[in-house]
Structure 1
Amino acid sequence: MTTTDTDTDSTPTATDASTATETSDETATDTPPAYDVAVVGGGPAGCSAAVFTARADLETILFEHDRASLLKSAHLENYLGFPFGIQPTQFLELAREHVREVGCTAHREGVETVRRAPSSGETDGDDGFVLETDARSVRAERVIVASWARTAFLEALDLTREPEEPGPVMVVPTDEDGRTDCDGVYAAGRITSQNHQAIVNAGNGADVALTLIRDVRPDYYNDWVVTEGYYESYDRSVPDGVEEISIAERKRRKARAETKMAAFFEPGENGSLERDGE
């Protein structure tokens, strides 16, 4: 499980979130950088999926792709944990910060095409996928599609798309676990006709990510942090995916979380209200 803590002296702000989301270790080479998972879509479903796959130690890259449909909302008032509501821009800033915090590479770029990667001859089948934007090309073993409204970038794949009733928007059908009919491609959120609710789409993104994780790591149990000794008290070994931490570490993480969140919502620290509607 990835639990990075490399940014202990900085606090997420609206300015940070709007300028620092794009991070990469990529360099210009003939061979595109390779990832275990590529997520297309930076809304609740995509960010949630990316957090789960990255924390499962799968090298993950996220492309925000298009403007999140959540920004059509004036104020988000039904997301559990925000009893007084939260501005959609602020919510997405926190989601992007979460993506960065777990070590996921993120780009504010639209994906122009996804295609099968040619076989290297080292495997019996294909070598995953190639995703191309105006700025870069990357390879990924698996893809989670969590964007909305625009699906033309999937045309190079043998993947079913169909119009959502009653309008012309194309959606991607999946099985009950989020797998599409194109092996290695998963879909989550509104693009699968989920309801227009942020919390529903975030939950679906996490659920589909868990499907992908367990396809890769069949013994994976859950992304769960417990106090040291919990499983020993039940005479059990720590399951795959679970992290045990000491009481001291639990207190440290609690204090850090409180400091970071208080600083994020400090009056005057973020200007997200001024960017509504962009």
Structure 2
Amino acid sequence: MYEIAIIGAGPAGASAALFTSKAGKKTILFDHDKSITKRAWIENHYGIMEIAGPDLVETGKKQAQKFGTELVDAAVTDIERQGDTFVIRTESQSYEAQHIILATGLLTDLAEKIGLKTKPGTEPRIKTIVETDQQGKTNVDNVWAAGTVAGVSVHTIITAGDGAKVAINLLSEINGERYVDHDVLK
């Protein structure tokens, strides 16, 4: 059983996974290889002069894996609540987790399927988003949403930051105190 399952391995999802794994939480990250970032050329991401979207996505996934995230290259087809856990299904396997972070970018079909409230998006070309509070919580207990699917701007720096924010808020709730992760120069 995983403590945290993150669906979507673009900037929001991989950033969330980096924080949850680094915090010692058993994390699984699902990647269906269709992130819109894979079609981007990026010159407006702090700390990076320029990078191809596919390279940014691969680097983000590797960073998360460095801290122990298990990466599954498969689309999630269904999520079902069973008591205090969620069963996450792909075409070939199922996995169990206590908490979920949806970071599915433009896609809300899975969110709607599991009963998350949605609302019209405000970004250009984003028709529907998942309704969350300021922390990233949805209307379903232990399901959070981050990035474009949660209504933040599609810019990679913003979605990555939102993924980190939601992960920190989830970690704080799990731990019962504010979680902080600051590395120092060696």
> Which TM-score applies when normalising by structure 1?
0.63
Which residue pairs with 1:111 in the alignment?
76
Which residue pairs with 1:265 in the alignment?
none
Q: Deviations over 1:148-187 (max 9, x none)?
A: 2222223442321233257673310100110011110000
Structure 1 pair 169/115, CA: closer, same or farther in 2 (3 Å)? farther
Unaligned runs of 5+ in 1: 1-33, 118-125, 228-249, 251-278
Unaligned runs of 5+ in 2: none
Contact map agreement 2:169 2:179 (CA 8 A) in 1: no
Which residue pairs with 1:77 in the alignment?
43
Question: Is 1:138 aligned to 2:121, yes or no?
Answer: no
Which residue pairs with 2:167 in the alignment?
209
Letter in 1 for 2:106: A
Q: How far apart are residue 114 of structure 1 and its match?
A: 1.0
Contact map agreement 1:194 1:201 (CA 8 A) in 2: yes
Count of aligned residue pairs for this structure pair: 185
Distance in structure 2 (CA, Å) of the matches to 1:197 and 1:40? 19
Letter in 1 for 2:12: A
Q: Which has the larger radius of gyration?
A: 1
Distance in structure 2 (CA, Å) of the matches to 1:128 and 1:178? 19
Q: Which has the higher strand share?
A: 2
Letter in 2 for 1:216: I
Question: Is 1:43 aligned to 2:10, yes or no?
Answer: yes
Distance in structure 2 (CA, Å) of the matches to 1:203 and 1:63? 19
| C-alpha RMSD of matched pairs (Å) | 1.7
Q: How far apart are residue 220 of structure 1 and its match?
A: 4.2
Distance in structure 2 (CA, Å) of the matches to 1:154 and 1:41? 12
Question: Is 1:161 aligned to 2:118, yes or no?
Answer: yes
> Which TM-score applies when normalising by structure 2?
0.92
Q: Provide the identity percentage.
A: 33
Match of 1:148 among 94, 105, 112: 105
Q: Which has the higher contact order (CA 8 A, sep 6+)?
A: 2
Distance in structure 2 (CA, Å) of the matches to 1:144 and 1:49? 8
Q: Deviations over 1:104-125 (max 9, x none)?
A: 00011110011111xxxxxxxx
Distance in structure 2 (CA, Å) of the matches to 1:159 and 1:196? 21
